[in-house]
Chains A and B, each alone.
Chain A
């Protein structure tokens, strides 16, 4: 320790806050209105969610309520499930500082593989599914190998993969459409959770499942908050916290009630929700997730902090491959046939979903829930515009402009703060 005769300089240094330290202190205005300050800080976080709500409200109005009808809502989930599933993997890839352009082709290839195994060779759907998932992992591993260990830009590796797997699915199917799939496999996309409670007009089990999830959400959030305050962390204002979570819980219940009044919760929604929760947990709570963000934020610093950056990059691609395989199976089951054109252009929707959801193209930034919201923004627009009878031509134009606008607003906000 320093000699006791000269401790003066250090406290002196600490007590004299330079102008560099000054902006860190909340300004008088923020101190006077703590809620306003908090809202402002969190607006960006919830901005995307609000845009989704606004877009839904817009189409709900324009389509005279068709958008949120139980049948259409179910379709919305089914149509977007494979995009959402891939967006989860793509988010990790993008956060790690890479990109994967091959996922659309992989979806087509896995669909073709599944069709060949189940239709031509009469495999049972369980081993066929396992083989397909392993194939997805192998595809991801092959591409990740080049990206992570040979430092070939992912854009190039996966562009190559896009061509390769597009070609391979054509070869597998020999240019033909192959189908139909066994009925048990079709349930993956067209099935709904069974209704043990035998509701007459309402699938009571589905509604109940929604209520349980909503309740679990509130309990989990309360526990998280308790842990935060126990360690002296500043939590969000209590009324805001309660209000926010009640609204979320209400939305979940309303959503499941809507679905319950049609055929109940689709199987694929369950898969999607579980995957979503899993990846949200991985990215926000685990050391692996944390390291992926560090890798994308500054690879050299992450490596010098003991993060195995190459392996981590590699695994994000393996993971992407598996999720693309899941999406490929879901999509094949939904169409009930494998066609050489399946999956074309999916990579664009998936990547757009991540960027609309706030991921940064330079890596290190992005949230799983953001990507999911991004995927639904695209999905709702697709669905809404189709109901309104807007042609595929202008649909593309509008989607492109929305992507640009979303990223523009994000970048603009960042440069302002």
Chain B
């Protein structure tokens, strides 16, 4: 018996077909993973299902619990028991957990809220999702992982029958991700079905009963994980529509002399000056080398990178930065850039891009001097630079005057990369360069990293995805709680060894 059946769903935007004849069948009480590259149409499909695109704006039929439904808005679908949790959480930061859970749905009489009931119900819901926080705690005071749980508790308060999670673990560390996946299994045991949209195939493999692959707006195939064993490669092949011999470009590293060195780097927390965040880190990177920094979220990797990059994080910073054996001043971002350091942020929308501006203006922002003379920008030269990078990095867009906000995640990431490549750095620090982007774009970014290393640059890659560190890096540092707790060459490194050095360091 299928809980949900979407049949022949077709959705067009101004003549462009986003979904064409998509079929999705979710059985009662199963976890159903929907996977596909960015822009494949997953989010559009979920918007159709949740009524964001109301009935009549699409073709096809939605059957839920045996009868056809015509949702005219999110309100309708929520009433039916379909609740979607978006990637960008919809919580009000300065309200409490209880206030958020019952926002718009407050237990009230004549408009006066019964806070006792609300708090008691919240207490019960939090217990159900395994969150040990008081209902009166403000959202802003808990981490992203816990916020995710609050979202789920909110969904449970509405008597959910089908829960849709859009990339729920994208910004979670492994511990929180595991907890979330365990919760999904628990909900499943209580008969709540779930649609899980994810890029992380290992997680999908852990929990999914069925995997549906969407590519270019159509359903490619559905794997039933209960009756067949499904390998990751099969899924990836279905996602990208071609055989993927290798997820990483092959390269023969040609490693030269040490170019970049950090010695005894110490950084204090920007607000709590007595808290030491980076506790004496030593790092070096050689010409043509790709160096990885592994670690859990909160290990201090981003803080390390940003404090080196013009002290853009922390205060009371001490230690030395050496380029080609000579100590350099990196006390401002301008000086760091002038000394050949570039930092590609993990948060491309928040810190990497000026979203309302076009590709061209974003690409040249870090090196306006390179397209101007006597501070006057040469339009033509700027266009040529942007256009060259568009072709070189295969940024998919109509032209370089397109606003970056309209690009997919992978293409936005390429724009950020183009910006820093144009600044012509010696050392490129990439912070989670492939987060939230699809398999095809990932490969392109890996290839680019390999090319940079081959051209004699240093590349430092911070990543939470161990397979990509192992696949790309010549040497991997392991970071935990502000310290380097391990260092492995590509030959020695393995997922187990890295994990072990994190865990044992934490215990010590």
Contacts and interface: CB of A to CB of B under 8 A. Distances in A.
Contacts of B419: 305
A228 B249 contact: no
B408 A18 contact: yes
A389 interface: no
Contact of B402 (A6, A24, A28): A24
A381 interface: no
A301 interface: yes
Of A5, A231, A301, A302, chain B has the most CB atoms within 10 Å of the CB of A301
Nearest to B36: A18
A303 B312 contact: yes
A174 interface: no
Interface string B245-260: 1100111000000000
Given A19-B16, A306-B334, A364 B354 contact: yes
Nearest to A17: B396
A20 B408 contact: yes
A12 B242 contact: yes
B217 interface: yes
Contact of B333 (A1, A291, A303): A303
Contact of A301 (B44, B351, B454): B351
A230 interface: yes
B369 interface: yes
B182 interface: no
Of A9, A233, A300, A306, chain B has the most CB atoms within 10 Å of the CB of A306
B322 to A, nearest CB: 21
B380 A231 contact: yes
Interface stretch (B66-74, B123-131, B273-281, B437-445): B437-445
Contact of B354 (A5, A27, A301): A301
A14 B447 CA distance: 13
B337 interface: yes
B398 A25 contact: yes
Chain A interface residue number, banded: 35 or more
B170 interface: no
Of A16, A364, A365, chain B has the most CB atoms within 10 Å of the CB of A16
A232 B380 CA distance: 8
Contacts of B366: 305-306
Given A24-B402, A231-B383, A286 B377 contact: yes
Nearest to A363: B356
A291 B105 CA distance: 45
Interface in B1-59: 13-18, 37-41, 44
A298 B377 contact: no
Contact of A228 (B350, B351, B380, B407): B380
B409 to A, nearest CB: 9
B394 interface: yes
Given A2-B251, A231-B381, A24 B398 contact: yes
B84 interface: no
Contacts of B16: 19, 22-23, 27
A287 B375 contact: yes
Interface in B120-146: none
Given A8-B242, A10-B444, A228-B383, A307 B396 contact: no
A303 B357 CA distance: 16
A221 interface: no
B442 to A, nearest CB: 10
B216 interface: yes
B2 to A, nearest CB: 26
B501 interface: no
B340 interface: no
B376 A304 contact: no
Contact of A288 (B244, B343, B375, B394): B375
8 contacts: A3-B250, A22-B17, A29-B15, A227-B378, A285-B376, A298-B353, A306-B333, A308-B334
Interface of A: 1-3, 5-6, 8-10, 12-14, 16-29, 224, 227-228, 230-234, 285-288, 290-291, 293-294, 297-298, 300-308, 364-365
- 9 cross-chain pairs, A with B, having the tightest CB-CB distances, nearest first: A20-B39, A231-B380, A13-B440, A3-B250, A297-B354, A2-B249, A18-B39, A24-B398, A287-B368
Given A13-B444, A294-B354, 8 more contacts: A1-B251, A13-B441, A20-B407, A27-B14, A287-B376, A290-B361, A291-B365, A293-B354
